[in-house]
Structure 1
Amino acid sequence: MTNRLSIPIHSAGSLGDFLRRCRTRLDPASFGFGGRRRTPGLRREEVAQRANISPTWYTWLEQGRGGAPSPEVLERICSALMLTDPEREHLFILGLGRPPELRYRPVDGVNPRLQRLLDSMRFSPAIVKTATWEVVAWNRAAAIVLTDYGKLPPGQRNILRFLFCNRDVRAKQHDWDGVARFVVGAFRADVARAGLVSAVRELVDELCSVSPEFDALWRENEVLAHAEADHVKRLHHPVLGLIALEQSAFSVDGRPDLNMIVYNPVDAGQAERIKALIEQS
């Protein structure tokens, strides 16, 4: 029994099935391939040529033979087939049983849809940060309660710089030592996962030279996950006094290198105080 596309039912959802579907949608002429064709899309040998792999090996992959491909081979096939990021992730899961390593892309800001989501949370501070802990988006509540990121040049919106180099930000932290330890450990894990250890070397060297506390924590080589954070952030606000905010972190859809953090007041009384300050500002 076969489906509408004459592909055996048992192969639906397989690596070979996915590869065939991806190559048949491509226009050979756009890649410089000509000749009469009985079926749409690229031929197997043309995909292999673009991926710089053996045509026999690629044929085996589509036929479910030859064992698991290497991540390097899958990356070349992704480029050859011009796969999107979600398609790349799907190919790795089919081929290796796991998603690919995080692919970091520099970020200057966020799309309007995500910014509107941040702005809809009028009385809950919310930010979006990168894998290198650069704040790239925020709402008005974050600017009033946390830090007015808009007054800072883009290169100075790094959370580690705030925490270790800005006296005002440091003074706001109710438990600076605990926050600092978590931030350094989570930052280390994030940049390693994103393959950015070399890219942040200049930032790390700078912080080590200006902050003995950062230097000591960095040398401890501790790695922490976001789940290990204290989920209540306590701040000494210059107007509100001591406030407590529950913090929740979310990956941004389609951008696992971006992280949205939302801070909600822990009770109705503090929510009213924060609301009043935002409405007056």
Structure 2
Amino acid sequence: MTTSAPASPGSPRSDARRHELAEFLRSRRERITPEQVGLVRGPRRRTPGLRREEVAQLSSVGVTWYTWLEQARDIQVSVQVLDAVARALLLDASERAHLFALAGSLDPAPPSTCPTVTPSLRAMIDQLGPVPACVQNSRYDILAYNAAYGRLFGDLDATPAEDRNCMWLAFTDPQWRAAVVDLPGTHRTMAAKFRAAMAEHLAEPAWKTLLARLEGASEEFREVWARHEVIGQGAKSKYIRNPYVGLLHVEHTNLWLGPAQGARLVAYVPLDEETRERLERLRDLASDGTAATTG
């Protein structure tokens, strides 16, 4: 598989992105009325939407600089300025993501919700049973899961929503840790994958908060984190000591729902007939609530 190199300044790709960014900003500016942003409409106003100087004022940036941006000039754009412009133009989550993508920058304040988890995707996850499946983002937050996954490492339903993160659970939760057969190896692998993914999110508060929590709560994490190891995502067979149905031999596999470091569907596919039968039992126990009090 081949990947494209990022566009260099002055390249045709870079020029195309700047012009697309300019047209996008202009279209968003022209759709907003002065009243929407607390400005008074003058009697001689002919400009559709906002004027450039009004957007500049609302964003606390220079009028000349903003004009150059809409003229597709080859200028440097900071994420702070892009954030201010996005707020001034009242961009929704999709428009904001498009703005930062066109500018080739990472959003310093990405939306807390994941638009990838649609009702149809949730229904598909449920229908994958008895195969345990969930949706994770690149930070290992568990965004959605089916009944079998909810009981794969313990009782995920009983876990506070803010703690439903695989990194946090693998290093701090007793049930989760007891279910992992090769805990030291898993810790090293997860930390290496987390470090590789974090390279694109170093300035994001949510990533820094999770890292600080892990470093404060787990000496094991501090030790493996100090190794500075990195590894990419990939399929891997593993054993899980499930507290309800016994030992499981599964293949951990990823289905990417967007860019390679974005959200992904994670499934644990059985590798032998005994595991398949045990996962069916686990699905049934989880569905009727028995697993919550079993074992």
Taking structure 1 as the reference length, the TM-score comes to 0.76
Deviation per residue, 1:197-239 (Å, 9 max, x gap): 542313321112xxxx333212223333324xx5223223352
Cα displacement (A) at 1:65: 2.9
1:264 maps to 269
- Which secondary structure does the structure 2 equivalent of 1:223 belong to? coil
Change (3 A) 1:33 1:121: farther
2:54 to 37, 42, 46: 46
Query: Does the 8 Å CA contact 2:21/2:72 hold for their aligned counterparts?
Result: yes
2:209 maps to 199
Deviation per residue, 1:225-275 (Å, 9 max, x gap): 324xx522322335243422332153479xx87554222223566434422
| C-alpha RMSD of matched pairs (Å) | 3.4
Deviation per residue, 1:118-138 (Å, 9 max, x gap): 322221212234555343432
Query: Which 5+ residue runs of structure 1 have no aligned equivalent?
Result: 1-9
Query: Which deviates more from structure 2 when the two are superposed, residues 178-187 or residues 44-53?
Result: 178-187
Query: Does the 8 Å CA contact 1:102/1:257 hold for their aligned counterparts?
Result: no
Change (3 A) 1:103 1:114: farther
* Matches of 1:66 and 1:273, distance apart in 2: 60
Change (3 A) 1:280 1:92: closer
* Matches of 1:170 and 1:11, distance apart in 2: 46
**2:72 paired with 1:64:** yes
Deviation per residue, 1:141-199 (Å, 9 max, x gap): 11233332012333543433432344543343233222110112223344554324542
**2:193 paired with 1:186:** yes
Query: Does the 8 Å CA contact 1:231/1:246 hold for their aligned counterparts?
Result: yes
1:142 to 140, 149, 152: 149
* Matches of 1:28 and 1:178, distance apart in 2: 58
1:87 to 95, 104, 110: 95
* Matches of 1:189 and 1:155, distance apart in 2: 23
Change (3 A) 1:66 1:193: closer
Deviation per residue, 1:21-51 (Å, 9 max, x gap): 1111111122213113324211111111111
* Matches of 1:116 and 1:167, distance apart in 2: 30
Change (3 A) 1:143 1:67: closer
* Matches of 2:209 and 2:51, distance apart in 1: 39
Query: Which deviates more from structure 2 when the two are superposed, residues 184-193 or residues 35-44?
Result: 184-193
* Matches of 1:121 and 1:269, distance apart in 2: 18
**2:233 paired with 1:222:** no
Query: Which 5+ residue runs of structure 2 have no aligned equivalent?
Result: 1-15, 287-295
1:6 maps to none
Matches within 5 A, 1:1-40: 14-31=20-37, 32-35=39-42, 36-40=44-48
Change (3 A) 1:178 1:44: same
Query: Does the 8 Å CA contact 2:19/2:71 hold for their aligned counterparts?
Result: no
Cα displacement (A) at 1:59: 1.7
1:244 to 250, 258, 264: 250
* Matches of 1:19 and 1:106, distance apart in 2: 24
Query: Does the 8 Å CA contact 2:249/2:272 hold for their aligned counterparts?
Result: no
Query: Does the 8 Å CA contact 2:17/2:102 hold for their aligned counterparts?
Result: no
* Matches of 1:43 and 1:125, distance apart in 2: 53
Matches within 5 A, 1:64-213: 64-65=72-73, 67-95=75-103, 98-101=104-107, 103-106=109-112, 112-129=119-136, 132-191=139-198, 193-194=200-201, 195-196=204-205, 198-200=208-210, 201-208=212-219, 213=220
Query: Which deviates more from structure 2 when the two are superposed, residues 28-37 or residues 234-243?
Result: 234-243
* Matches of 1:17 and 1:152, distance apart in 2: 46
Q: Tell me the amino acid that sits aligned with residue 30 of structure 2.
A: T
Change (3 A) 1:161 1:79: closer
* Percentage identity across paired residues of the two chains: 32
Taking structure 2 as the reference length, the TM-score comes to 0.73
* Matches of 2:177 and 2:17, distance apart in 1: 58
